[in-house]
Structure 1
Amino acid sequence: MSNTTAPSTAAPAVSAAQDTGARTAEAADVITGARERIDALDARIIGLVQERMAVSEVIQRERLASGGRRVHLSREMEIIEHYSRQLGRPGTVLAMTLLELSRGRV
C-alpha cells in the first residue's frame, strides 16, 4: 500500500483582500461594503429603467391611438440635452440608450 495522497483539485481559497484587490483586510471590508451598496443601487436603477420603459409605452400607445407618431423627436432632444447638461458627454450616451430601450415597444 502506498502512503501517497492524490493532489487536491480544489481551488485555493482567495482571501477577501485578494478578491477586492485591496492590500489590507480593512480596505477589503470597505470595498466589500461599497460593492454591496453599488449592487443595491444597480438593482434600483434597473427597476427605474424598467418603470421608465413602461411609462414610455403608455405615452407611445396613446400617441399612436390618437393618430400621432410613435416618436416625438423634439421631446427626445429635450431628454438628451437634460442628461448631457447633468452628466456631460456620457449623459448623452446614457439618454440615447434609455430612449432606445423605450422606443418602439408598442
Structure 2
Amino acid sequence: MAPAASATPATPATPATITTLSDPADPSAADVTGARTAEAAEVISGARERIDALDDRIIGLIQERAAVSAVIQEARITSGGRRVNLSRENEVLGHYREALGKPGTSLAMTLLELCRGRI
C-alpha cells in the first residue's frame, strides 16, 4: 500500500537517496533492461526470465501441435481427402479471435501456416 501523501512539498531526490544505473563502469544493466534504477532492473530481469520460460513452453506446444496436425493431414490424404479442411481452420480462427480479439486472428493464421504450410 502506498504511504499517504504529505502536505509538505517533496524534496528533490539526490544521488545519495536513489540508486541509479548511471555508473559508466557497469552500463550493462541499464543497456539490457532500459531501467534507471537497480531495483527496476532486477524486476525487469526476473520478469524477462519468466517470459523466456513461457516462450520456450509456447514453442514446445506449437511444435507438438504441428506434429498432431501432420498426423491429421496424413490420415485425411491417405483416405482420399484434401490436405486442408477450411471449415476446421475457420473454427480455429474464430476461437482465437474470440479469445484474443483481432490480433488473435493473425496469430491463428500464423499458427495454421506453421502447422499445415502455405495453401
Task: Report the TM-score, using the length of structure 2 for normalisation.
Answer: 0.74
Please report the RMSD computed on the Cα atoms of aligned residues, expressed in angstroms.
1.5
List gaps (5 residues or longer) in structure 1: 1-11
Tell me, yes or no, if the aligned pair for 1:22 and 1:28 is still in contact at 8 Å: yes
Q: Does 1:74 align with 2:87?
A: yes
- Once the two structures are superposed, residues 35-89 of structure 1 have per-residue CA deviations (whole angstroms, 9 ceiling, x without a partner) of 0000000001000000000000000000001111100000000000000000011
Listed as ranges, the matches of 1:9-24 within 5 Å are 13-24=26-37
Q: Does 1:44 align with 2:44?
A: no
Identity of aligned residues (%): 72
Task: Report the TM-score, using the length of structure 1 for normalisation.
Answer: 0.83
List gaps (5 residues or longer) in structure 2: 1-24
**Greater helix proportion:** 1
Q: Tell me the distance in 2 between the aligned counterparts of 1:57 and 1:96.
A: 17
Question: How many aligned residue pairs are there?
Answer: 94
Tell me, yes or no, if the aligned pair for 1:17 and 1:27 is still in contact at 8 Å: no
Q: Tell me the distance in 2 between the aligned counterparts of 1:28 and 1:44.
A: 24
Q: Tell me the distance in 2 between the aligned counterparts of 1:104 and 1:21.
A: 38
